Amino acid sequence: MPLILTLETTCDETAAAVIDASLNVLAATVASQDKLHQKFGGVVPEIASRAHLENILPVIDETLRKSAVTLAELDAVAVANMPGLAGSLLVGLAVAKTLALVLRKPLIAVNHLQAHIYACKVAFKENPFPCIGLIVSGGHTSLYRCETPIDFTFLGGTIDDAAGEAFDKTAAMLGLPYPGGPSIQRIAETGNPKAYRFPRPLLNEPDRLEFSFSGLKTAVRYLLEKDGVVAAKIGADVAASFQEAAADCLVGKTLQALKMTGMKTLCAGGGVAANKRFRDKLTEAARQADIRLYIAPPDLCTDNAVMGAIAVERYNAGLFEDLNLDIHAGLIRKTR
Ligand code: KG4
Ligand code: ZN
């Protein structure tokens, strides 16, 4: 059975996996850079690319060892070459091209956003396509119409910050460590989600498939800047109220997209989709609206190379790349 090595270096995780054509994961490794970026409260692109350079070969080596697969036994090398931070993408791409050249094996391009949605297929071993795809992470908050695993059409996305960015910035304002999403989730557990009524932008405009998170973040800042408000005292309530508003925006807009398109299946992925409150709200909303819902399991929501299993689809379709393949850093509207 064909074996594919998948590489992921789009942002700040260096990851590799060995996957077979039946989507079985033989081994997977993620080297997180969270500690390096912590003191800056967000990902610093140059630090990220240098860390990828240090980590990528040890991560591949460890993954091959765990899988008991040799380089010579691989049938293809896949790499996420879009979208993401340019310097980070270049490291993975250069390594993948080198391996493909030296091993004389096909090179496969992975679209990171498609991979986030494909994580649902890998996890549930069911075919969710066609579906609406919600990708909600530190760099993206986008809705796509996903006809097949590799045919996506952009429906709408954030007009300012990504949801994960809002979590990260709000956490920083509350003095909580990066990445902000898990920090907010943790302290929100002891907070009152109704303590503050933060804005839910664009939710009352059902025909507009767009998100906006900068107003929500600013509302938190104004609250914290008010005289006498001490972040340490009200942190849990602010975190819970912020998380509630962010989840309402994500769930509300996604339901509007399903209604507008008439689609009945939804897949959600990306780091913010690991959020427990968001998952609970989306599950309940999908149940009420009779939507078939797949949310990637939390460890496949944050960046990983297992979701690069989408390369199997391209392998089976014979969609291989030349060695002059380039990266694509920005938003992608139509994919093939
Ligand atoms: O998908 P991902 O690992 O990287 C990108 O492609 O951006 O997403 C990272 C983002 C960060 O902003 C992080 O704070 C957020 O996902 N995140 C969460 C949670 N876990 C990670 N946000 C909310 N709740 C979580 N549990
Ligand atoms: Zn991602």
98-133 residue pLDDT tens: 999 999 999 999 999 999 999 999 999 999 999 999
Helix or strand or coil: residue 192? coil
Q: Which of 238, 256, 243, 147 is nearest to 196 (CA)?
A: 238
Ligand 1 centroid from CA 163, angstroms: 9
**With 70 as the cut, is the pLDDT of residue 228 above it?**
no
Q: What is the pLDDT of residue 336?
A: 60
Mean per-residue pLDDT, 246-254: 98
Mean per-residue pLDDT, 299-322: 97
Higher pLDDT, 62 or 330: 62
Mean per-residue pLDDT, 277-297: 98
Count CB atoms within 10 A of the CB of residue 239.
28
The pTM for the full model equals: 0.95
Kindly list the structural domains of the chain, giving each domain's residue range(s) and its CATH number in brackets, ordered by start. Answer: 3-116+301-335 (3.30.420.40), 127-298 (3.30.420.40)
In whole angstroms, give the CA distance from residue 4 to residue 79.
10
The verdict on the CB of residue 12 being under 6 Å from ligand 1 is no
Q: How confident is the model at residue 42 (pLDDT cuts 50, 70, 90)?
A: confident
Q: For atom 19 of ligand 1, which residue has the closest CA?
A: 181
Q: How confident is the model at residue 331 (pLDDT cuts 50, 70, 90)?
A: confident
Q: How confident is the model at residue 1 (pLDDT cuts 50, 70, 90)?
A: confident
In whole angstroms, give the CA distance from residue 59 to residue 252.
39
In whole angstroms, give the CA distance from residue 76 to residue 109.
11
**Which ligand lies nearest to the CA atom of residue 113 in the structure?**
2
Angle between helices 214-225 and 231-261 (to 10 degrees): 160
Contact 213, 200 (CB under 8 A): no
> Quick one: how many helices (H) and strands (E) in the chain?
11, 10
**With 80 as the cut, is the pLDDT of residue 12 above it?**
yes
Q: What is the largest CA-CA distance in the chain?
A: 66
Nearest-atom index, ligand 1, CA of 269: 1
In whole angstroms, give the CA distance from residue 232 to residue 302.
28
Q: For atom 8 of ligand 1, which residue has the closest CA?
A: 271
Residues having C-beta closer than 5 Å to ion ligand 2: 137, 303
The CA–CA distances, whole Å, from 38 to 42, 47, 91, 232, 245 equal 7, 12, 22, 19, 25
Nearest-atom index, ligand 1, CA of 140: 7
Residues 6 or more apart whose Cβ sits within 8 Å of residue 51: 12, 14, 33, 36
Task: Give the phi and the psi of residue 320 in degrees, each rounded to 5.
Answer: -110, 160
Q: For atom 22 of ligand 1, which residue has the closest CA?
A: 181
